[in-house]
Structure formats: structure tokens, C-alpha cells
Structure 1
Amino acid sequence: MPEVIFNGSAGRIEGRYHPSRVKNAPIAIVLHPHPQFGGTMNHQIVYQLYYAFAHRGFSVLRFNFRGVGRSQGSFDHGQGELSDAASALDWAQAINPEARGCWIAGFSFGAWIGMQLLMRRPEIEGFISIAPPANLYDFSFLAPCPSSGLIVHGERDAVVPYKDVATLVEKLKTQKGIVIEQKVIPGANHFFDAKIEPLMQAITSYLDKRLATVTIKPEPRGRRTG
């Protein structure tokens, strides 16, 4: 079932879904970058994230925010997009009622939306936040951050300066009961041009470490359905 359509508050939402072969496998939702700057669910980093989760046995969903691709509605400066993300998680949970957990992952604008969803849905147990735009959007809602996760940033990011992400990470690290890991990709800009491989190595290493105590049968690497 690679192509899916589900309902959101602004109408139909277009997505791609990879079901796990394991009945109670965890869910992962992957969020794309800014819709007004070319962000779609087919962005290379979103695509790579999607398969990183799929290869590790997750039931994983990526989708287009409202107004992108075949998703109905129009850009809503974050509020509507958060609603879209909540609808995506609702849909994934409805068809995976026995899922034993959930992860959220997002890039840039999608990272901001993902962290907001994290605050609203206690079942989200892990996150991956790539180049979170800490200088462009308010992240003060993360008080406290309820789950452990990974924040990845490019060393030469001119869109989101390193100091802003570092300040966010340090703030989150002061909270008890969770572990925030930070990885800086040497030489990488905001879009990780020519640095996708080290970016994904950092992410997959983190996922493998977090999942080491959880038994999920990995998907064969040659099998792709979305």
C-alpha cells in the first residue's frame, strides 16, 4: 500500500506508506521541509529517512503538507501543518492499533512541526530533528521536552546558525529523564549538499543504538514499496 490518501482538517492528504511485516511494529512519521521553498515528501532527505525507518522494521508514513502535491488546502504558517501531522499520526495509529510506540522525524520546517507534535502526543518515544530552524521559529514550547532524540545540524549552515541550534540543545539537555544527542556534520550546509551520506550515517547509527534493546525484524534492503 505505497500510495495513500487520508483526511485532514483542510481536506485530503497525500502520502506514501510502508507497512511493517511485524504486527506490533512501531510507527514512524516523516515530515518534509518548508512547503513554500520546494519542500515535499519526495525531498531526498525525507526519502532517505523514510527508508531508514522502513529497513528497521517500522511502519512508516511520509506525506505532503496541505497545498503540496495532491494534498488539499493551502499553506498555513505552521498551525495547519501541525494539524496535518496529527492527522497523519491518527491515520497510522488507526491501521496499526497494536503499534508499540511511535517516532517522529523532520527536516528544517518539518523538524519544527515534529517537535510541536512531540509535545502534544505522549506516545511519541523518540525523535530525529534535522537542521531545526531555532533562529526562525519559537521552540520555547519544549518545556520540558518529553522524549529523547537526536538533533543533527550542518557545520556550515548559513540559514540556521550553529549557535542557535547549540543554544536549543543545551536548553534541552538540562531536563532530567531524557537524553538529547547532537551531531554536527562537518562541512555541511543547511541542505546537506554533498553530505547526505554522513548525515544518514549519523541518523542510522543513532537509530540502531536506540533500537538495540528492541526486537524488530529489519526489512530486506532490496525490498521497496513506496
Structure 2
Amino acid sequence: MPVGYLISVAVIAAGTLCALAPPRRPRPLAELSFRCGLLLNEAPVLGGYFLLASTLLVFAQRDIGSPGAWAVVGAAALTGAGLVAIARRGLRAAPVLERALAEGLGPDGRAAAGAGPEGRPRHRRRLARALFAPVFPRRRDVERIPNLRYGDAGRRNLLDVYRHRSRPAGGPVLIHLHGGGYRQGRKNTQALPLLYRLASRGWVCVSANYRLRPAARHPDHLVDLKQVIAWVRAHGPGYGADPSRLVVAGSSAGGHMAALAALTPNDPVFQPGFEEADTAVTAAVCLNGYFGPYYGHGAASSPAAHVRADAPPFLIVHGDRDTVVPATEARRFAGTLRAASAASVVHAELPGAQHAFDLFPSARFEAVVDAVEVFADRVLKGR
């Protein structure tokens, strides 16, 4: 029995199973499954390449001669089939997002989602991501200006600016907040393909740290985001930004914060010491966001409690296999928004997507970035 090959296949098989059918209960098992399956759920090709290399090596070494060894080869084949199924689910994100854009923005939104800025089909780029799965989304035409201070909380009040190296003026702004349950996380880790893509298109993108639990609690995090918005209004033009066109976005807990900020513009309760600053935003993007109440603070700390008729447009994207924040929460929040707001609400549930799908430049997240680009373009044009 080739023990090393057995271990390799077992590890990939376990990750594949966690990605295909993650358990939701008990909570510790769901958390473990989420972590074990996250990489393969977004980059199944990496598992496939590893399986293929391991299998070719064991055959080259002539270690396949017993029934047990052939059983491991069979398990590798089954695991490979599971990885193919995962990859196919990832590619289904694009048509789901196109339908959601058509429903929320009109038929032209769906048409634009299928083509790049030069009119070339985007599905080829998504397929390339599925086959080669690069894990480093930086772009040569984008520069990152790190660790700019926007508040008095040390490194938790630092932000990074991403802009095109040609330094164009008057670019729209995207502010992104990381996730981590308000307990962990940092800038420059999540949604990087989104930040780099928009910056390469002439946007000025901002990724910010904020104060975390237990040293901070609600509404401290929201106050930090409001300070970031105020900083962009005051200093953004110096980096080529047009602060009158500002989209706020977030992942997980950052989505919770982004939704709250979008629904509480210029509220002095959340702007202590800078009450006169304009903190209104043009639109909000929530990726695998949490929309419930903050730890022990009651319903008033949830975005749903602040829904209003003049809310800005929202794009809400969630995974239908999310075991950290169930998709029903996003679905419920989107319904509440649609019932009250006069603005566009685009809501999409991605087939097979888990929590934190925006950590990797996968085929699935490429489709999400395409959708964000189309959504933002339509909102900024007032359509």
C-alpha cells in the first residue's frame, strides 16, 4: 500500500466532500468543514492537479500492485469527479448574476454582464481562471498606496488606496471593509480582484482597517467606516478620486457595516466629532454579508432596522451553501429593502458558494466582479 499516496488522496477527498456538502450542524463541525473546503470550493483545479501529479508519480514508481492500492486509485478518480462537479458549479455563477442584474436593473444589465469593456466575451477569462486558478490578483497597471491614517486608533485606523498608475483624475470611489466577525481580519486580504479590477478601470479604491472586538463594540466599527468616508471626501481628490461618486462595499461583517453606513447617511449619532461631514454614499455592495443584530445589541443594530424609502441602490451577493451566514438572511434583507426602497436592489445567490468566496480570484468571483462593475456603471449613470 502506497501510504503517502493514500494520505494525499484522503486529504483532497476530505476537502472535496466539505466543499460539496458542508454540514450546518453542529456548529463546530460546520466551522471545521467551512475551513477545510474553502480553497477547493473556489479553486478545485488545484486539487485536481495535485491528484493527477500524485497518481502519475505512484504509477511511475510502480507502487500500484495490490487491491488496496487500486482502491486508492479508484478513490482518487471519485474525488476527481467531485472536483469537476465543484468547478461546474463555480461556472454557473455567471448566468445567475446576469439574471439578477436583469431583474434589478433591466435587460441591458444582463447583456452588459456578458461582455468586457471592449465588447469581448468574459466567459473566456472565467474559464481561464477555472483552469489555472491564479491566487495572486495584483495587476501591473495598479499601484497601492499603503497605510494612510484616517483616525486615532493606530494601525486599526489605517487604509490603503489603489489607483491606476497613470493617475487619472475624477475617478469614482469604492471603499471596501474586510470581514472576520468584527473580531479579526485586516485590509489587503479580501476582495482583492475587485479592488485591482476597478482600479485598473480608473476607479480609486480604498481598503480600510477598523477597530475590532473586544476593544471596540457597536457602533465603534460603523463610526470608523464613517470616518473613512469623511477622509475620502476630504483627501480623495488628491489621489484622483471624485467623492461625489462613492460606493461602499464589504465582506461578511464588512457587509453588515457597509449596509449600515449606506442606510444611515449623515446621522450625527454615528459621527461623533465630525457631525458636519457628508457620509452619504451612492450605492452599497454586500458580499456574503451578515444582516442581523450586532452581538447582544438588539434589532436596532441590524441594517434592516434602518431601511428607508430613500436608500441607495444595493447589490447583495451570497452563496447558497453558506454555513456561516445562511443565505436566508440575505434573502430576507433584500426583500425588506425592495419593499421599502425606491432604488434598485440586485440580489443573487451563487450556486455552491460558501462563505468568504471573495478570498480567491476564482471563476466564481470573476463573475461577481463583472457583476459589480456592471452594477456600479448603471448606478453611476443614473439608470
Q: TM-score range by the shorter chain?
A: 0.7 to 0.9
How far off its partner does 1:169 sit?
Answer: 0.9
Matched, 1:143 2:331: no
Using structure 1 for the length normalisation, give the TM-score.
0.79
Alignment of 1:1-226 (within 5 A): 2-11=145-154, 13-19=157-163, 21-34=167-180, 38-43=184-189, 45-66=190-211, 75-97=215-237, 98-121=242-265, 123-135=280-292, 137=294, 138-144=302-308, 146-192=311-357, 196-211=362-377
> RMSD of the TM alignment (CA)?
2.8
Point out where structure 1 has 5 or more consecutive residues left out of the alignment: 68-72, 216-226
How far off its partner does 1:92 sit?
Answer: 1.6
Aligned residues: 209
Point out where structure 2 has 5 or more consecutive residues left out of the alignment: 1-143, 266-278, 295-301
SS at match of 1:129: strand
SS at match of 2:175: strand
Using structure 2 for the length normalisation, give the TM-score.
0.49
Going from structure 1 to structure 2, the CA distance change for 1:165 and 1:32 (only over 3 Å counts) comes to same
Q: For residues 243 and 329 of structure 2, what CA distance do their matches in structure 1 show?
A: 35
Identity value in percent: 21
Q: Is the 8 A contact 2:183 2:214 kept in 1?
A: no
SS at match of 1:23: coil
Going from structure 1 to structure 2, the CA distance change for 1:186 and 1:143 (only over 3 Å counts) comes to same
User: 1:141-173 deviations in whole A, cap 9, x for unaligned?
Assistant: 332161112101011001111222211111111
How far off its partner does 1:35 sit?
Answer: 6.2
User: 1:10-48 deviations in whole A, cap 9, x for unaligned?
Assistant: 3452221124533222221110002665421122x3322
Q: Is the 8 A contact 2:283 2:312 kept in 1?
A: yes
SS at match of 1:124: coil
Q: Is the 8 A contact 2:161 2:204 kept in 1?
A: yes
Higher Cα radius of gyration: 2
Query: If each structure's helix is expressed as a fraction of its own residues, which one has the higher value?
Result: 2
Amino acid at match of 1:102: L
Going from structure 1 to structure 2, the CA distance change for 1:51 and 1:123 (only over 3 Å counts) comes to same
Going from structure 1 to structure 2, the CA distance change for 1:176 and 1:86 (only over 3 Å counts) comes to closer
Query: If each structure's strand is expressed as a fraction of its own residues, which one has the higher value?
Result: 1
